Chain A
Amino acid sequence: MTQSVVVQVGQCGNQVGCCFWDLALREHAAVNQKGIYDEAISSFFRNVDTRVVGDGSSISKGKIRSLKARAVLIDMEEGVVNEILQGPLRDVFDSKQLITDISGSGNNWAVGHKVFGNLYREQILEKLRKSAEHCDCLQCFFIIHSMGGGTGSGLGTFLLKVLEDEFPEVYRFVTSVYPSSEDDVITSPYNSILAMKELNEHADCVLPIDNQSLFDIISRIDLVVSSGKLGPTVKQDSLVTSSARALKRHKKPFDAMNNIVANLLLHLTSSARFEGSLNMDLNEISMNLVPFPQLHYLVSSLTPLYTLADVNIPPRRLDQMFSDAFNKDHQLIQADPKHSLYLACALMVRGNVQISDLRRNIERLKPSLQFVSWNQEGWKTSLCSVPPVGHSHSLLALANNTCVKPTFIELRERFMRLYKKKAHLHHYLQVEGMEESCFTEAVSSLSALIQEYNQLDATKSVPVEDVPRLSIAV
């Protein structure tokens, strides 16, 4: 089986990453009852005999001794990483996996990208190589970062290029948290646009997420829970209640929000880790969902957000899970896939769901969705038999859809508002290697991407016609 390495960068990246490791451990603990280190666990964890001094102590088989996360933690301040190291997850990381600084990037992409990038390049590379050496078949790097700040945005995208140069065969999947419009970081539009150019050029797949959508989803869950509709039937370990115990804090909205993102990654990799009647390996994601190299932004939704305690799946509720996946209220970014154009769509199902359930729902939903003319049947599906902890079934829908465009357009508008006034520009230009052209190139890269989506949207009104076929002399 293959392995993946998670690279969590910046405050947001590390908080989400922390939730991810907590949930990943719990998921494997629930599935793996025997305590034997198996291939499923090996995809995200090493098994290490801590009694042996040094590094060459990985155990490939037998009992689970001490699990170490296949992760590299990077932050240019110490707060979050220190908190992780003092929390319950401290044993899954060791000091060899960390890179921290004390000064922070000051919400400046240029500081993260140019200053810290150059300063820490070798050190980052060394940790990445080390983590790669521990894998016998490294398939994917998962980068978790935010777009609005300095470290995640700047250093996070810097290391994308490093990964591309150093590990060209290994996929780069990026989970990018986009700032909401009421973001308190004033320079976030700059940081986001500068980071977007790097994502355009060096990522295989980007899963955009925005805080506002996560917040809305959490509010909706809270509403249902507090209204008493679910009552005592909400499961203890389900998405709703699993606060990030890894960070020693009381429940805050951010914890629940980070949990959603962590669940996204867990679900995304479930079919590669566990058995199922229709497997979907990570390399199938970009193969099926990325028709053209640049168009690699996938809008995701996770349903159901909560599951009642009953084990059997009444067909109606199962079908509701599929309907919700296309609803704009369930997307992890503010977008409406139903009223935009699909280039491709994947449905990844976990739990007790069969191929006939999938087919019934695709047939049911297809008429309400619009697909690009050359991919009228652009559906990819997978069935993983292991459900998430506390649920009986769940669905991750990934949409390559022009509905991401408004987010990009809005980002560009906010960027232009600042840039016209040259506001805060000097903070960037004083960084070595940073020129005005970096801004203009970044914005034109984004405009080119928007233009591609525009062109696709323009085909919506054109009736679908078959291309004349090759004629054969009979």
Chain B
Amino acid sequence: MTDTTPLMVLAVFLASAVRYSMPLLVGTLGETVTERSGHLNLGVEGMMLMGGAAGFVTAIRTDSLVLSLLAAMGGAIAGALFYAVLTVTFRANQVVTGLALTLFGAGVANTVGKGAVHASTPPHIQAFFAWQPLRPDLSAIESVPVLGPAAVFLRTVLLEYNIYVYMAVLLAVVLSLLLHRTRLGLHLRVVGENPASADASGIRVAATRYGAILVGGALCGLAGLYLPLVHNGTWVENITGGRGWIVVALVIFVRWSPLRAMLGALLFGALEIIGFKLQGFPQLAGNPLFSQYIIGMYPYIITVIVLVANSARKKGGWRGPGALGLPYFREER
């Protein structure tokens, strides 16, 4: 019952792009929170793996979704805490620490996940994530010309997702409001822009940064859990396959905005699968622009372009958190 009209092909493609974008979106939201506080945590890949391994192993051992989610956040927070202690308290170099966290996280995750390789997501959790809570029954109008296909198209693109997808979208909106409309968000942004200013204003710089890094880590953990628990239904070593690095690029690409993160993640998610769509066009075969290898580079190419465009921005324009990557020393004499 596969519908191969061009419209439905497009709908199905968009819907799978959304599904593939999920770990990118949630990871990007997490890293955005972290970077907004002025800390560049390159350990996203490591935290995603730690969260994914901890959450998946917990799921198959305890059969509990709640415990699995908590374990995923906890595992990644452990990694984030390492990073926070080193970079906030001891002011270690953020890039080096982040890279170390990537290696460390992968090592820990692959060790923890050893026993879970090829195990499957417990059936009731599988069922929970197969549930499409918003999917309406359109059998009444499906055969109506124009209206029917349009409704099915919209349902496929918008309403046939599991609860993880809707929660991620909600999270993006909530984070955006939190960042721009609340006192907490203002404090976070001030800390990220100019910690000296925050300090002088009575904002607790270190505490805010710890909070942002740990929350960012928790979200990365949930992003990492999506792959084994929801998407692939099993654990293997290095299951993230470099998506943590795509997240780091994405945060820059969406210029630290949770709302734009949805579009950015969707684009990068689509890039992940568009190669298979393009292989269906034999006339493109051999064209290097569409080779799977090159398509795999597109997220990074796009990010480099955005980086260059960002730094060419006119003076006064916002180029990202002002103190990103810089340790904060209260002026001491």
* Pairing of A with B: no
Task: Please list the residues of chain A having a beta carbon within 8 angstroms of any beta carbon in chain B.
Answer: none
Task: Please list the residues of chain B having a beta carbon within 8 angstroms of any beta carbon in chain A.
Answer: none
